[in-house]
Structure 1
């Protein structure tokens, strides 16, 4: 190679290579599924050497953990992108829909994030690399935002004031996660519009159970801008 050509070679930083590997793994997940997440296949898509997976990340389990963290970072951004209104219940439903949209955009990534994927080797790694609570920092950021929005809902006076916002967040997350998981498994094929026919009524029932008025809860869910 001529000397001037060598000088034009762009050397990637470790962070750039890691980002390439994570993006490549997410692309493979979306297009091929978890069985294609191998060091060589990911490196080929990222256009780096196979050894880069081990040198810059430590190995395939660490790569999977980085993919999981990126997924929760994307989820956190999706939560923040939901337009805040004067109706905290409508905003909570907007967050629920945002979670569903992320899952629809990359079902295999969602499975991996929540431990449903057939490639479950990352689970031990998550326990060793996360906090004592067992949650990664990326997960905690998204979850904390949800708890904050639940606190705003309690402060609105629409539900009983003695309720713990974190308990509400856990209930909401559980309901939405169950809905998303079943929908991804094609268990709502009998419904023309699962959001309208399943998710919205379920959200209303949850809000009413917390003390919200049924008519007000239905109105909040119906006016959510991103309900489709």
Structure 2
């Protein structure tokens, strides 16, 4: 009878590897299990090897992002929701800086690309709702707008989590998003109120 895998061990190894990244330690097979109470075989049992561990770390980063975005409640104001999702994106990056960096390491495939894509689709759906409510022009492409919003968030998150900018710089996201949404046709005053409300919520 096959031995049941313990999800706690899987999480332990992912967290251990993330901690090593934070400390700028080489993430090697022996080093990642050192002090954990599990053997090197666990890396093969749970991930199929070190490449599998890196894939799992990428996936875990997107899973935590999806969980953070899911905490944003939908409201009658889709522009507020877009801003809240952007703020939640930044909050996740700051809370999980090491996994956040690994998320975008395209050298390793994702375990479930569709699950990772869902994060972007959450933004797309919010943009579609804003367009349907008449907040954005009819010619605005929700996917393009969602991608632009993501790019803004990723730029700020990367600059803050890697050190060049202080955490307070995340606040620049609100006026940048306001300018983006106004360029898509939203009323400046309404947009400012919506973005500020969403930013505070997340």
**Normalization by structure 1: what TM-score?**
0.77
The one of 41, 54, 62 aligned to 2:44: 54
Q: CA deviation at 1:222?
A: 1.5
Q: Deviations over 1:95-115 (max 9, x none)?
A: 111111111112222111123
**CA–CA distance in structure 1, aligned partners of residues 117 and 85 of structure 2:** 16
Contact conserved, 1:204 with 1:221, CA < 8 A, in 2? yes
**CA–CA distance in structure 2, aligned partners of residues 12 and 21 of structure 1:** 18
Corresponding position: 1:162 with 2:150: no
Q: Deviations over 1:142-180 (max 9, x none)?
A: 122221112112111111123221111111111111121
**What is the CA RMSD across the aligned residues, in angstroms?**
2.5
SS of corresponding position for 1:224: helix
Corresponding position: 1:125 with 2:108: yes
Corresponding position: 1:139 with 2:113: no
CA 1:13/1:24 → structure 2, altered by over 3 Å: closer, same or farther? farther
Corresponding position: 1:13 with 2:12: no
Q: CA deviation at 1:202?
A: 0.3
SS of corresponding position for 1:212: coil
Q: Deviations over 1:163-221 (max 9, x none)?
A: 221111111111111121122344434xx94243x211101110011111111111111
**CA–CA distance in structure 1, aligned partners of residues 62 and 75 of structure 2:** 24
SS of corresponding position for 1:219: helix
Q: CA deviation at 1:15?
A: 5.0
Contact conserved, 1:29 with 1:106, CA < 8 A, in 2? no
Q: Give the structure with higher Rg (CA).
A: 1
The equivalent residue for 1:213 is 187
CA 1:45/1:204 → structure 2, altered by over 3 Å: closer, same or farther? farther
SS of corresponding position for 2:193: helix
Gaps of 5+ in 2: none
Aligned residues: 200
Corresponding position: 1:203 with 2:177: yes
CA 1:185/1:57 → structure 2, altered by over 3 Å: closer, same or farther? closer
Gaps of 5+ in 1: 1-10, 116-122
